[in-house]
Structure 1
Amino acid sequence: MIRSTSSTAMNRQQSTRAKQPMGILVSAYSCETGRGSEGEIGWRFVTHLARDHEVWVITRANLRAVHARTFETEPRPKSLHFIYFDLPWIFRFYKRGKRFFLVYYYFWQIGVGLRARRLMREQRFDVLHHLIGGMDWMPAGISLAPGPFVWGPVGSENTHPLIFADLPLASRVKDRSRRAIRWVLRGFDPFLRFTASRASVILSQTPETMPRRYKQRMRPFEQTGIADLPSLARPKSDFERGERLQIVFAGELKDWKGAWFACAAALKFFENDAHSDLIVVGDGPLRADLESMALRHPQGHRVRFLGEIAMDQLIEVLRSGDVFLYPSFHHGMATVVLQAMLTGLPVVCIEGDAIGRAIKQEAGITVTLSPDSDPVDGIVSALSELAKDDARRQRLAKSAQTIARERFSYETLSAALSKIYKEIVSVDVVRAR
């Protein structure tokens, strides 16, 4: 009889907790709006989660002023709380720019774990979530605190062998070094192995590249979402193009972002198409080489390099475009790709990473890699198809908008997270019986 009463009480407790807003403690290294990338992802997730839960976010202290400016123009959710944390100044000094970023990030995670443990003496949380910092080969500090723990989305892409063979020596060395560091940390770092062992659920956009020992707790999950807001995109209703096809690339000018492939393919495409242009948005270590490539080419004057521009300018560039060119490799889903899709631009990309898996042949053209063909030739062929068949380009543009709104909306993704939270809390209650 006593056991029955205890079981009934536990069931009531479980039911009550499932109905009430949960307390969620989130670790988000980046969390800000208006700059894209992981910061935008973190911001959108936590603000959406705060509609249904009490959300506490441990993030970088240098975002305090950024958040204050944001909340001057938009209301602050009552259920959203920020805990600002940074390492001592000496660590920040040596991290300047991206120098020693990974070292700083590793120690920041340790500090987050200690901060979370102190916070839990004052506040009860139902779920701990390492949300931003998507490297599956770096630890999550919040795992050091007790309670149900969600790790992810985390993951890492491998470079397609055919792309790897086409890279210059320096890029191949860098890629090999990246994979070696990942292998060492996954296999031998005790903090990382502890993080993985603590996770109730591991969310990943790249489950095929994750260690097999994670399989039982792994769930496929989209890493990136998009909010249908004028501050991120101005969706088209008219998909007609002008006399000249406007091709847009936007991103850091790095090899793995696809900047070299984009410029090389566009210049080759221009040789047989007189009515198109390429707009390159962004800056990075490849900019000088890309500008030299354009200067040497007879059609190079049709490539415009805008450098880094403000978000409102990027939105207008995307809206004036007809095709978004993003031939990245070992890349997770990029916010800028979703901005382009939501705007109404079909995407040309190559297979082998999350962007290619998302686009397929539904929201643009994903170039299939083959030992018998050059990736640049495949991109040129895709651009030619869209230039010649405008009805197809418009169909793909409309499909891109629909996919961005439905599959990648933060409403959809946040609802999926809430469901996962409830599941692991329920399991935790059952285990406590």
Structure 2
Amino acid sequence: MPGLDGIHWVFPEVEGWPLKQAVEPKWERTYNVLWQRAALRDARDLHQQVGFDVVHHLTWAGIRAPTFLGALAAPLIIGPVGGGETSPPSLRDEIGLRGRILEGIRDLSNSTIAMNPLVRSGLARASAIFVSTADTQNLFKGVLRNKATVFTQLGLPNLPSDRLPRSPSGPPRLLYAGRLLYWKGVHIAIRAFAEVVRQIPNARFTIVGSGPERSRLEDDIRHNKLLGSVEFIPQLPQNALFELYRNHDLFLFPSLHDSGGFVVLEAMSHGLPVVCLDLGGPRDMVTPSSGVVVKHNGQNSAQLATMMAREICRLLASPETLSVLSAGAVARAQDFILAERIKRFYDRALEFMPRGDPTVVRQLDQVLSIHQ
């Protein structure tokens, strides 16, 4: 593959724990810790042979996964990592008891993450920690905070080569694509859509995805008398999803704590403006020229849905605004082309490298990149 000729691949294995191809292991977090130790073993051997200038640990993009590569005598870059995001307490009113318990556990985990000895050891030894959002950066204090910088892990190889002018026709159409989990906030989108329909009766909402919330969301649709206005599609080939981007007017992404949200970037790359919440990674991706970020301001789910519905109706009432936002969405997606983002990433990483090391400051020719 072009651009990968200079990469030498090594695949550490956990002794006595074979993996099946494309199948996640049971007890995956335990496996991850053991795999990190196997990776350190192989990395030590490689470091003796090569003498790396920099070690870059690519995790699952989660702050809770440890790295032991700080034990090598080379500057360590970690990330980008996320996971420090959490849902506002005011928006937990409609996620059910199980959801509230899980969010409480997440809060506790976030508040103690820097105390976890496995995680803290790797962070303490790092020269630079890249985090996906300010929420994750805010978990750190003192020295750890000083070497943490926000940089989303998302990127696009290129803008779609088959991208055609968007061609929505007929009634206004809204789209959501993603897993159907309680924290994805689809219940808020459905409540907002119910208010939109009161003002725009012929509006339609397409929900693409599957997950444990499906039956509950179907109940919400029946309760709000939206059976003829909402379509569920469990899953689609990628090209079919791309076609949906082109024939819808707005992409709704009301997630309560996504550190990334690649589908948001994907929608914008196809010229589909986005309406999201001011939570997690999407709030940093969506700009005033590419969509609308709805502020939660301590509101509950019903109040926030009303705010979202108001913004949706405002946009749908102005085809000119939608056209401008569509062009702005493509322009914003251009900012995430991988080749340039990788360059910007390592340029910023250089700012954190130890002073007085001319080899590292001059170039990053020999980088040991670890990911599972």
Deviates more, 1:420-429 or 1:199-208: 420-429
Distance 1:151 1:284 in 2: 31
Q: 1:229 to 1:421 in 2, by over 3 A?
A: same
1:323 Cα deviation (Å)?
0.7
Question: What is the CA-CA distance between 1:171 and the residue it aligns to?
Answer: 1.0
Is 1:369 equivalent to 2:296 in the alignment? yes
Give the structure 1 partner of residue 129 of structure 2.
202
Structure 2's unaligned 5+ residue stretches are: 361-372
Contact 1:204 1:218 in 2 (8 A): yes
Pairwise mapping of residues 29-428 of structure 1 onto structure 2 (< 5 A)? 75=2, 77-88=4-15, 90=17, 100-155=27-82, 156-187=84-115, 189-207=116-134, 208-213=137-142, 214-230=144-160, 234-236=162-164, 238-239=165-166, 241-371=168-298, 374-406=303-335, 408-423=336-351, 427=355
SS at match of 2:10: strand
Change (3 A) 1:185 1:212: closer
Note if contact 1:359-1:365 (Cα within 8 Å) is conserved in structure 2: yes
> How many Å separate the matches in 2 of 1:385 and 1:311?
30
Q: 1:81 and 1:430, CA in 2 relative to 1: closer, same or farther beyond 3 A? A: closer
Distance 1:339-1:115 versus aligned 2 partners, 3 A rule: same
Q: CA deviation at 1:196?
A: 1.0
Contact 1:348/1:366 (8 A) holds in 2: yes
Superposition TM-score, scaled by structure 1 size: 0.74
Equivalents in 2 of 1:97, 1:248: separation in Å? 30
Unpaired runs of 5+ in structure 1?
A: 1-73
1:235 to partner: Cα distance: 3.4
Percent identity between the two aligned chains: 23
1:340 Cα deviation (Å)? 0.4
Q: Judging changes above 3 Å, is the alpha-carbon distance between structure 1 residues 150 and 371 closer, same or farther for their aligned structure 2 residues?
A: closer
* Letter paired with 1:383: I
- Equivalents in 2 of 1:421, 1:215: separation in Å? 15
Q: Is the 8 A contact 2:53 2:359 kept in 1?
A: no
CA contact (8 A) 2:251 2:275 kept: yes
What amino acid maps onto 2:334 in structure 1? R
Q: Distance in 1 between matches of 2:16 and 2:321?
A: 55
Tell me by how many angstroms 1:136 deviates: 2.1
Deviation at 1:113, TM superposition (A): 2.1
> Contact 2:278/2:293 (CA < 8 Å) preserved in 1?
yes
Equivalent AA in structure 2 for residue 125 of structure 1: F
Residue 268 of structure 2: SS of its match in structure 1?
helix
- The CA deviation at 1:226 is 1.9
* Alignment CA distance shift 1:152-1:108 (3 Å): same
**Partner residue in 2 for 1:47:** none
Asked if the contact 1:266/1:380 (under 8 Å) is kept, the reply is yes
Rounded to whole Å, the distance in 2 between the matches of 1:183 and 1:378 is 30
Paired amino acid for 1:263: I
Q: Residue type of the partner of 1:77?
A: L
Q: Which SS does the other structure have where 1:128 is aligned?
A: strand
Tell me the distance in 2 between the aligned counterparts of 1:419 and 1:399.
27
Secondary structure of the equivalent of 1:340? helix
The alpha-carbon distance between structure 1 residues 346 and 229, as it changes in their structure 2 partners (threshold 3 A), is closer
Cα offsets for 1:153-188 (capped at 9, x unmatched): 12321322322344322211101111212333421x
Q: Is the 8 A contact 1:248 1:280 kept in 2?
A: yes
SS at match of 1:349: strand
Instruction: Supply the distance in 2 between the matched residues of 1:296 and 1:97 (Cα, whole angstroms).
Output: 38
Task: Give the aligned residue type for 1:333.
Answer: G
Residue aligned with 1:120, SS = helix
3-state DSSP class of the match of 1:176? helix
Separation in structure 2 between the aligned mates of residue 424 and residue 356 of structure 1, nearest angstrom: 26
Higher relative contact order (CA 8 A, sep 6+): 2
How far residue 349 of structure 1 moved from its aligned partner, in angstroms, is 0.8
Number of matched pairs: 353
Shift of 1:384: 1.0
Q: State how far apart, in whole Å, the 2-side matches of 1:234 and 1:321 are.
A: 17
Tell me the amino acid that sits aligned with residue 405 of structure 1: Q
CA displacement at 1:370 relative to structure 2: 3.6
Q: How high is the TM-score relative to the length of structure 2? A: 0.85
Instruction: State whether residues 251 and 281 of structure 1, in contact with CA within 8 Å, keep that contact through their aligned partners in structure 2.
Output: yes
Distance 2:26 2:190 in 1: 28
